[in-house]
Amino acid sequence: MSHLFSSYALGPLELANRIAIAPMCQYSANDGLATDWHMMHYGHLALSGAGLLILEATAISPEGRISPADLGLWSAAHQQALAPVVQAIRRHSPIKLAVQLAHAGRKASSAPPFEGGQALPPGQGGGWQTVAPSALPHAPTDPAPLALDEAGLAKVKADFVRAALRVHALGIEAIELHGAHGYLLHQFLSPLANRRSDQYGGSLENRMRFPLEVFDAVRAALPSEVVVGMRVSASDWVGGGWDIEQSVALAHQLKQRGAGFIHVSSGGVSPLQQIPLGPGYQVQFAQRIKAETGMPTIGVGLITEPLHAEAIVASGQADMVGLARAMLYNPRWPWHAAAALGAQAAAPPQYWRSQPRELQHLFGDTRLGQR
């Protein structure tokens, strides 16, 4: 029996298998509004047979966008623009949905990667003034952010809550707070970006305070059936930065406060990072957090082979695997993995005839007698 294709209870959410489609920015929104690209992109990913689809980093405010083309959820119009995408998925797929809510902090106001990815100074190319824990730019040549004051912090927190309520109003069952990749919440955690001298900077407890306040505010605003988790970078890959020990401490805090999962990535806060890339290079961090906290854990990063994904779940290194690029390259990855592992994956009836003759049970027992 495949472990990768065993069902999983993510709190109240019943997932068909352990495959999560990791969040991927599409840089294809108009003023934060979802477009027909989102319908196409999420439409085909939703037919993949994965258990969970995590929608891209979705900005809680205009200034929280990575680029002017980021998806956002800061008004009723944004909720309305995303609704048809969610409804289409519901009509045609059993996949469970999450949205990643994000504020990019000092890494906001950049060109989309396929337009160069460079920082956009305020007023140039649609750029704006960024905000961050401290007035330190990400790279020395980037425009400096403004350090958030008390009112600024309160606004960010309120924006997270409002966006989370919109996710819930869309009928989406889970929220991933973006605490990774050098964006705002990670900037608070990492001593490389956070040089504050108030209660939000300095000690580990102080650096965790704002991300945990945001978590608490979002968790408190939603009914318990909505799963709220966090994506973290478990290491900055820079000496003196955020690391796995601090990540374990954060995970303990999140667990106590009712977090439903932790999605364990790494890096992104410093251009000085040295990342030893290789298959499953971040899974060790997920393993450590899962072993020490018992928190439902998603491992991610260069997991591309079905047998590797199976081994990660079977050995208990992580409860789920997150896949990003492999899902773009092959959006039917879960079907092929199910074929390789002798398991079953969901497919829409319109595609059932694609089932290979020698794999008559690939799309499940519902296929029997349908031809």
**Residues lying near ligand FMN in the complex (CB under 6 A):** 22-25, 56-57, 100, 178, 180-181, 231, 265, 300-303, 323-326
**Tokens, residue 346:** 């969901």
**Tokens, residue 85:** 């995408």
For residue 183, indicate whether it is catalytic.
yes
Residues sharing a CB contact under 8 Å with residue 178, sequence separation 6 or more, in sequence order: 23, 57, 100, 101, 102, 103, 185, 230, 231
Closer to ligand FMN by CB, 47 or 300: give it.
300
**Tokens, residue 257:** 């406060």
199 burial level (CB within 10 Å; 0-12, 13-18, 19+): exposed
What's the min distance (Å) between Cβ of 364 and ligand FMN?
Answer: 26
Closer to ligand FMN by CB, 180 or 259: give it.
180
What's the min distance (Å) between Cβ of 183 and ligand FMN?
Answer: 8
Please count the CA atoms within 13 angstroms of the CA of 345 that sit on its side-chain side: 31
What's the min distance (Å) between Cβ of 37 and ligand FMN?
Answer: 13
What is the rounded CA–CA span in Å between residue 252 and residue 295?
8
**E strands, 42-173, in order:** 52-59, 96-102, 131-132, 146-147
Closer to ligand FMN by CB, 16 or 22: give it.
22
What's the min distance (Å) between Cβ of 179 and ligand FMN?
Answer: 9
Closer to ligand FMN by CB, 133 or 299: give it.
299
Dmax (CA) for the chain in angstroms is: 68
Closer to ligand FMN by CB, 261 or 363: give it.
261
Which strand (E) or helix (H) includes residue 308? helix 306-314
What's the min distance (Å) between Cβ of 328 and ligand FMN?
Answer: 7
DSSP code for 143? P
Beta 262-265 vs 227-233: how paired, if at all?
parallel
Determine which one of 183, 200, 281, 329 is catalytic: 183
The residue behind tokens 């074929």 is 339
What is the rounded CA–CA span in Å between residue 197 and residue 231?
26
Active site residues: 183
